[in-house]
Amino acid sequence: PFFLKSSSYFYFMSSLCRFLIEKSQNNNSPWKLLFKACRTAIRTPAGLSVTEFLAPLLILETFCFSSESVFDPFSPKATIINEITSVLLFDKSKRYTSISNEEHLKACNAIFTVLDTISLWSEKHIEEQYKVTRRGRTFTSPRNS
């Protein structure tokens, strides 16, 4: 669990993204060379914007190209779901952690940004599929039958 062990938003995002980049090297992702090239940037606080930019793509890539089951507790898919749950259901009073409320809020915002981005991509993909399907059909009037 990256979030529960992190002392800051940066360490949470950096750790999660480094893990996902490492796992992306084992699948057929078309993005794995880009991810590999960004490994150094996401290790420093100066690269936080790179990490925030890559997070939605890394998560989407994991669900699209990883062959491991979401039900395998050690799979990257399960890790993503666990991290999202850990951030959103986090109660500082029930767990010992050094992360501040401000850092927790940043992590929540990052999760919602990732979910919004993936939702937007999904909607665009569905719209494009629908347009292609409609172009391929010819509509005839019932009167002409």
The token duo for 13 is 């995002």
pTM: 0.81
Q: How far apart are CA 17 and CA 40, in angstroms?
A: 11
Q: How many CB atoms lie within 10 A of CB 71?
A: 8
> Tokens 């989407």 belong to which residue?
60
- Taken in order 129, 33, 107, 66, is the CA torsion positive or negative? positive
Residue 76 token pair = 């990257």
User: Two tokens at 19?
Assistant: 């893990």
Per-residue pLDDT reduced to its tens digit, 84-93: 999 999 877 7
Tell me the per-residue pLDDT of 108-139, one tens digit each, with 9 for 90 and over: 999 999 999 999 988 888 888 888 777 765 44
* 145 has a pLDDT exceeding 80: no
Find the range with the poorest average confidence among 12-26, 88-102, 127-141.
127-141
